[in-house]
Amino acid sequence: MDFINNDAATIPDIDDVRSSGHALESYALADVGMAPNWIELKHFGVFSAWGGNRLYANGRQQLKLIVVVQAVGSDYKVVKLSREEVESIHLVDAYTNTALPIDTIHDGERASWKCSLARNERFQPFPYSGDLQGPDTRGKDTVLKEFFVSSNSLEPIKLVAAITRSDGKVFYSQDTAEYGHISLNTVPPATYRKEQYRLSRSSVYLPATQNVAKVDRYVLDLILEQRHLKFVECNMPFKLQARSNHHDYLGYYVVPYFNGGKADSDLWATWETADHVAASDDESGRMVFLLHFAKKGGRGQIRSDSFQAKAYLRDMFGNQHVLNITLNMADPSIIEIN
């Protein structure tokens, strides 16, 4: 059988994959070459390789669909598809009879369904705990072509597969009895309660410098049913700072980090920042805030207060989060979520 991930190759039986509990993986492509004429499709269907038919309507999360094709010639013996025929395989919206665009969904774009020929490894599929269901993919010259579907629409869709034969005739999988189509639904992007975000504080052992007296470290976590949901994008583009009445401190300023690097577009480049602390003690999938206690007489100058800034995050399922990160107005040496 031929597995198409921009190319084709022999893969294990899907029954073996189902029993192992793992999704199908990509394999290197074998040369398809030109094929004899074929008169009909012995197998033609589409199924969900990761199980289920739901995904978040956030434009980022993907659902892996696989199209299965096996053609027979005039003697009803299985024949190979030509490379052009394999490349012509695409998904079609059964309601509008239009091909699903192979493209990326961007923030703010009108509601739509699209697909990609490659997986975005940063995002995880919608949680699914059932058995994987799919057609029998065994057999000589069976071609599997994979698509990764995304949507930012709350409207469901029914998809069928289509292939164009070398003579220009188009065949649709909906004409088959089983796995001829698949209906997909979306779930609104997840929202979480304030208490599901955890902001933990710890002191950092750091010798005082000319500009910084000490640094406190805060780690932002998202907990759902005792499970840590990782962030894949984090950014806080605005200042968070406050003056101090403490006799030792000029004031406080916050520098956010993600994956060991700054997550604030270098807004603090002119101030001393404890970058090595974030780099050496990285929290995978979590956002880190380093609260710097600026010393009086140092190079830092804090002449105004910015008690609140928005943090923009995206989690492992592609959902976006906008949080208000604040300095406590009564005691600005404390970071909070409001």
Decide if pLDDT at 31 tops 70.
no
**Average of per-residue pLDDT values in the chain:** 85
Structure tokens at 242: 């406050």
Task: Please give the residue range of the domain that contains residue 298.
Answer: 194-337
Q: Are residues 182 and 206 in the same domain?
A: no
26 pLDDT band, cuts 50/70/90, is very low
Is the pLDDT at 5 greater than 80, yes or no?
Answer: no
45 and 70: one domain? yes
pLDDT one-digit tens code per residue, 73-82: 988 899 999 9
- Whether 169 and 81 map to the same domain: the answer is yes
For range 291-302, the mean pLDDT: 84
Q: Cα(283)–Cα(279) distance, rounded to whole angstroms?
A: 9
Are 183 and 261 in the same domain?
no
Could you tell me if 140 and 199 lie in one domain?
no
Lowest mean pLDDT across 5-9, 281-285, 286-290, 297-301: 5-9
Please say whether the beta carbons of 112 and 151 come within 8 A.
yes
Where does the pLDDT of residue 9 fall: very low under 50, low under 70, confident under 90, or very high at 90 and above? very low
Q: pLDDT tens digit string along 115-165?
A: 999 999 999 999 988 888 888 777 889 999 999 999 999 999 999 999 999
Shared-domain flag, residues 162 and 241: no
In the block, tokens 């009108």 appear at: 110
Total count of domains within the chain: 2
Query: Do 216 and 297 fall within a single domain?
Result: yes
Q: Are residues 23 and 131 in the same domain?
A: yes
Report the pLDDT value the prediction gives residue 30, as an integer from 0 to 100. 34
For the cut 90, the answer to whether the pLDDT of residue 203 exceeds it is no
Domain boundary among 151, 166, 187: 187
What is the pLDDT, as a whole number, of residue 44?
A: 93
Confidence category of residue 6, pLDDT binned at 50, 70, 90: very low
Q: How confident is the model at residue 176 (pLDDT cuts 50, 70, 90)?
A: low
pLDDT at 183: 95
113 with 220, same domain?
A: no
pLDDT exceeds cutoff 90 at 113? yes
Query: Quick one: average pLDDT of 199-218?
Result: 88
Last residue within a domain, chosen from 187, 205, 224: 187
Whether 172 and 284 map to the same domain: the answer is no
Cα(first)–Cα(last) distance of the chain, in Å? 55
Choose the weakest-confidence range: 56-60, 102-106, 136-140: 136-140
| Chain centroid offset of residue 246 CA | 45
Q: Is the pLDDT of residue 91 over 50?
A: yes
At 268 the pLDDT is: 58
| pLDDT digits 0-9 by tens, 313-338 | 999 999 999 999 999 999 999 999 98
Same domain, 258 and 291: yes
Report pLDDT for 29: 34
**Residue 238 pLDDT:** 87
- 253-269: per-residue pLDDT in tens? 999 999 888 888 666 55
The sign one gets for the Cα dihedral 84, 89, 92, 97 is positive
Rounded Cα distance, 240 and 253, in Å:
6
Percent with pLDDT over 70 in the chain: 86
139, 156, 187: which is the final residue of a domain? 187
Q: What confidence score (pLDDT) does residue 18 get?
A: 35
Would you state the pLDDT for residue 36? 52
Asked if the model's pLDDT at residue 21 lies above 70, the reply is no
CA angle 129, 133, 136 (to 5 degrees): 155
pLDDT at 284: 82
Q: How many CB atoms lie within 10 A of CB 108?
A: 7
Same domain, 39 and 163: yes
